[in-house]
Amino acid sequence: SEEKSLNFLEEIIEEDLKSGKYKDIVTRFPPEPNGYLHIGHATSICLNFGLTQKYGGYTNLRFDDTNPVTEDTEYVESIKDDVRWLGFEWKNELYASDYFATLYEYAVKLISKGLAYVDDSTSEEMAQMKGTPTEPGKNSPFRDRGTEENLDLFARMKNGEFPDGSRTLRAKIDMAHANMLMRDPVLYRIKHAHHHRTGDAWCIYPMYDFAHGQSDSIEKVTHSICTLEFVPHRELYDWLIEKLEIYPSHQYEFARRNLNYTVTSKRKLLQLVNEKYVTGWDDPRMPTIAGLRRRGFTSESVRDFCDRIGIAKRENSADLGLLEFCVREHLNKIAQRRMVVFDPVKVVLTNYEEGLVEMMQSENNPEDPETTHREIPFSRELYIEREDFMENPPKKYFRLAPGQMVRLKSAYIIKCDEVIKDEHGYVTEIHCTYLPESKSGHDQSTIKVKGTLHWVSVQHAITVEVRQYDRLFQIEDPASEDGDFRDYINPESLVTVNNAYAEPSLKTAKFDERYQFLRKGYFTLDKDTSEEKMVFNRTVTLKDAWAK
């Protein structure tokens, strides 16, 4: 196998291991439980877990649940499901909210060292004193409060004596600092809100910058990997760790991965769900892990995709075509072949014995050297795809047409003799003769035909619903376009065939099985399947339809 060159994080880690800085490494995947995971998160998961698999050590799953308002237990459960489905096991399941008491102690320590103060300014006043990137900010009038007063006020903030927004705790750094985030950043805010895990125990909550790095440190995370927008936060990350004299975790940044023809912001995805553009977080058109999974993507193909796009230091968008390529490759190897006619026209074999049923043998997967076979009933009346017949075909048309021959997959060669139409000229039946000596596997007809069609026996077919999905958005980057991203939703992102005719073996289709409907695409059973009707989702077409 070919040697892959190291990415920049692997280089850093190999250096750290070689120098003896670490014996093995600790990473974490830190989702905020305020939505379902999407394909961008998958790259972060593959990266964090992949590094500890490669270099030894472990990865924690840490819920970054310090914002009480937007978080929910439903999201926690979905995140755990999705990480497991992707094929990874975390060492510890942790919650930043479990550190609230420790973080409070850390804040007290900073106040005691004269490095934090309670500010009574409103957020508008603070914004005004912040300065600009080229002009220094102004010191708050509360900046020089004494330590005792600060400790007292902070304790009273915690005890619920003050309303939301009336006071904050700020680090005392430098209001003229070149990095705006170092201009006395807010560490704690007052929020009388119920938290999904700590309930009403707290009414002050730490800001991201006073929770994330501290959580990393508490867990002795060696390499804390986040996305590029946190580059300016690194200075504060390091400052807090240094001043608190706690375990020195280090932050590294890589570029966020977006996917074209979709959006990967939880806020926007939530909008699609709430405003019913999709049926839920796991709608098969969503770029969420839950959506991809329901659509029939395999975890192997999603990991393969993450591996192929690798990691970068510059923001860029990955190609949906590549994700589809990855799943097509995998499904070609594992999918069971079946025949399903989406838009039927009836073929009557006039020389085939009435009432006779033959069982045809067909391979379940020609890509598998050890493939098994299944039996498909064949009879006098069959359905083929309406689009596989043309009354007045152009030259080199190899499908069915008057006087022309085709092979029916795993069955016989047939010849079209007569076309039956209704009074509107609509084709209702095609009368054909079959060549008895042309049976697949025992063909003695010496006739070569170029077209092979899929078919089902009318009396044996089961009706199923088929949902065909396309890109959710019509343009490559709906989020960055003018106007509202919702204006670019593809109105044909879902095309449903209510009554498709499937060979009877699909009666026993299973949820974890993947199918190739011959000439149609890759499909999987959907959870909307009921006693009355089986529902199949198209995962992906057989060929890249856009590569024209």
Cβ atoms 362, 329 nearer than 8 A: no
**Is 537 one of the annotated binding-site residues?**
no
E runs forming strands in 265-408: 316-318, 336-338, 340-341, 344-349, 358-363, 373-378, 381-385, 405-408
Residue 417 DSSP SS3: strand
Q: Does 44 bind ligand ATP (CB under 6 A)?
A: yes
Least distance from ligand ATP to the Cβ atom of residue 538, Å: 25
C-beta closer to Mg ion: residue 71 or 465: 71
Least distance from ligand ATP to the Cβ atom of residue 47, Å: 8
**Is 34 one of the annotated binding-site residues?**
yes
Any bridge partners for residue 57, and if so which? 25
Burial 405-421, CB ≥16 within 10 A → b, else e: bbbbbbbbbbbbeeeee
Q: Which does 41 bind (CB under 5 to 8 A by kind): Mg ion, ligand ATP, none?
A: ligand ATP
- Name the residue whose CB lies closest to ligand ATP: 40
Q: Does 365 bind ligand ATP (CB under 6 A)?
A: no
Q: Which does 307 bind (CB under 5 to 8 A by kind): Mg ion, ligand ATP, none?
A: none
Burial 110-143, CB ≥16 within 10 A → b, else e: bbeeebbbbbebeeeebeebeeeeeeebeebebe
Least distance from ligand ATP to the Cβ atom of residue 160, Å: 28
3-state secondary structure 254-283: ECCEEECCCCCCHHHHHHHHHCCCCCCCCC
Give the integer Cα–Cα distance in Å for 361 and 372.
10
Least distance from ligand ATP to the Cβ atom of residue 227, Å: 4
C-beta closer to Mg ion: residue 137 or 206: 206
Binding span for Mg ion by CB under 5 A among 25-33, 280-288, 491-499, 533-541: 25-33
Q: Is 256 a catalytic residue?
A: yes
Q: Does 40 bind ligand ATP (CB under 6 A)?
A: yes
Taking CB under 6 A as the rule, which mask of x and - marks residues 197-236 in contact with ligand ATP?
-----------------------------xx---------
C-beta closer to ligand ATP: residue 257 or 407: 257
User: Using only C-alpha atoms, what is the Rg of the chain?
Assistant: 31
Give the integer Cα–Cα distance in Å for 298 and 309.
17
Q: Does 196 bind ligand ATP (CB under 6 A)?
A: no
Give the integer Cα–Cα distance in Å for 104 and 240.
14
Q: Indicate the pairing of strand 257-259 with strand 316-318.
A: parallel
**Is 222 one of the annotated binding-site residues?**
no
Q: Which does 70 bind (CB under 5 to 8 A by kind): Mg ion, ligand ATP, none?
A: none
**Is 402 one of the annotated binding-site residues?**
no
C-beta closer to ligand ATP: residue 83 or 187: 83
Taking CB under 5 A as the rule, which mask of x and - marks residues 26-45 in contact with Mg ion?
------x-------------
Q: Does 264 bind ligand ATP (CB under 6 A)?
A: yes
Q: Is 32 a catalytic residue?
A: yes
**Is 64 one of the annotated binding-site residues?**
yes
List 28, 234, 266, 415, catalytic entry: 266
E runs forming strands in 30-143: 57-63, 93-95, 116-119
Cβ atoms 282, 269 nearer than 8 A: no
Cβ atoms 328, 521 nearer than 8 A: no
* Sign of the C-alpha dihedral computed for residues 318, 320, 321 and 326 taken in this order: positive
C-beta closer to ligand ATP: residue 316 or 496: 316
Binding residues for L-glutamine, as ranges, are: 64, 208
**Catalytic site positions:** 32, 256, 266
Residues of the shown chain interacting with ligand ATP in the complex, contacts defined by CB under 6 A: 30-32, 40-41, 43-44, 64, 226-227, 256-258, 264-266
Binding residues for ATP, as ranges, are: 32-34, 227
Residues of the shown chain interacting with Mg ion in the complex, contacts defined by CB under 5 A: 32
Binding residues, as ranges, are: 32-34, 64, 208, 227
